[in-house]
Amino acid sequence: MHIIFLIIKREYLTRVRKRSFLVMTILGPLLIFGFYAIIGWAAVSSINQKKIAVVDESGRFASKFKNDDETVYAYPKQPLATVKKTFVKQGYDALVFIPSTVIDNPKTVQIFAEKSVSMSLQNTIERAISKEIETIKLGQAGITQKVIEDAKVNVDAQTISMSDEGERSSNAIAMTIIGYFCAFMIYISVFIYGTQVMRGVMEEKTSRIVEVIISSVKPFQLMLGKILGVALVGLTQFMLWILLTVGLFAVGGALVGDKADRGRQAMQASGAMAQPGAVGASQVQDGAVASVLQAVETLNIPLIVGCFLFYFLGGYLLYSALFGAVGAAVDNETETQQFMFPITLPIIGAIAVAQFVIRDPDGALAFWTSIIPFTSPVVMMVRIPFGVPAWELALSMFLLVLGFMGTTWLAARIYRVGILMYGKKVTYKELSKWLFYKA
């Protein structure tokens, strides 16, 4: 145990003293938020306004399509055959043909375009036509336009979670965002830190340093010490990221709050509170901040943070043992590709399944994928903000620990042979033989 501790200490101190660790610890959260901010900005700014020509034989849909930032509609008076020949040259992106029989036969609507139209544009056009047909038929049934408009209401429901402890407000959007964010961070961490273990093993093997180390320690002790040392590095980095993020939110919230208070006091002193526009802006800002705070307050933060650390460690330990075995089995990074895909396939599948689990966090797919050790670190973190029965959480954690012990045993059998094997082409058949070699 003392030897393993020394290896853990060496791995930990060597890595946290690197300049790259300090840089990534400070810049990591900023890079992640910046990455998503750029993607969001690019997604919004890349939308070009579409020009749509509408040929309406029924005469009922003129001005029924609403122009917005994404779509502009025009209503040429020429026949369909003429417009079909010229609408591309006139700069239109699509042509919508609404026949005179559309009320009785809605499926006769046609959309022409030089290229295929996007799904969102098709849905927008179909919704507008369906809505107008619905209004016309309701009018024919004797229901007035005023009654139809009065019947259109927006419902903003308050969600409440019921448990043995009583009723508690919940926020589905906040639960979805925090659940998927935690799952994605574990997914990324497994690749980042698992790859560090694999490359560390390869470097020691190719530089022949491992031959000196093996003379003093057992291969299993070396592998376990390296895995745990890198795990502590990752845990340290995550704790620092959490502290930095909380600190940034606290400082930012205080600055925004002080600024809002000063602005409110200045407006009160100058009588600006009487200006409707100024009051509205302040109220909107305060309302947005209050909504975010209320959404966060509905989450069980201690449970989420505790489970995140457990599943981060569990997932990392399970996969890093396999990454370490791959690093010991090969002589260079090129040869790792054939072994990496089967190892990473389960966790890639987990992040794909997570998108379906968000829709139904209590379904059969969510249950089984949050129990299986290879997918549970990602999928269970998606479910936890929505509430998971204690026995399911305990079973998932127990199986994850068993999974880690199983993969560590398997990796150790490969590691003890592969770490001293040079110049031999390794295949899956060869790896299977290593499992049964006697020490």
The reply to whether 278 falls in a domain is no
> Two tokens at 105?
């036969």
- CATH number for 63: 3.40.190.10
As a whole number of angstroms, the distance between CA 298 and CA 320 comes to 34
- Same-domain pairing of 141 and 60: yes
pLDDT at 241: 79
Place 46 in a pLDDT band, splitting at 50, 70 and 90: low
The reply to whether 131 falls in a domain is yes
Whole-prediction pTM value?
A: 0.68
Most confident of 54-58, 73-77, 303-307, 397-401: 397-401
In contact, 206 and 331? CB cutoff 8 Å: yes
- Same-domain pairing of 206 and 244: yes
Q: Which residues contact 204 (CB under 8 A, 6 or more apart)?
A: 210, 213
- Same-domain pairing of 113 and 180: no
The reply to whether 317 falls in a domain is yes
Place 276 in a pLDDT band, splitting at 50, 70 and 90: very low
- 49-88: per-residue pLDDT in tens? 788 888 888 887 777 777 877 788 888 888 888 888 888 8
Residue 336 one-letter amino acid:
T
The reply to whether 267 falls in a domain is no
- Same-domain pairing of 419 and 310: yes
Decide if pLDDT at 285 tops 60: no
How far apart, in Å, are the Cα atoms of 316 and each of 45, 111, 235, 307, 394? 37, 51, 10, 14, 19
The reply to whether 161 falls in a domain is no
Within 38-179, strands assigned E span 50-56, 71-74, 94-98, 110-112, 159-163, 166-170
Q: What is the mean pLDDT of the chain?
A: 78
- Same-domain pairing of 219 and 256: yes
- Same-domain pairing of 207 and 314: yes
- Same-domain pairing of 196 and 66: no
The reply to whether 14 falls in a domain is no
The reply to whether 32 falls in a domain is no
The reply to whether 56 falls in a domain is yes
Q: HSE of 243 in the Cβ direction (CA atoms, 13 Å)? A: 8
164 in helix, strand or coil? coil
- 324-383: per-residue pLDDT in tens? 888 877 777 777 777 888 888 888 898 898 888 888 888 888 899 999 999 999 999 999
- Same-domain pairing of 226 and 298: yes
Q: Which domain holds residue 425?
A: 170-260+291-435
- 24-39: per-residue pLDDT in tens? 777 777 777 777 778 7
- Same-domain pairing of 83 and 123: yes
Least confident piece of the model among 52-66, 90-104, 282-296, 422-436 = 282-296
48 in helix, strand or coil? coil
Number of domains in the chain: 2
- Same-domain pairing of 342 and 212: yes
- Same-domain pairing of 321 and 406: yes
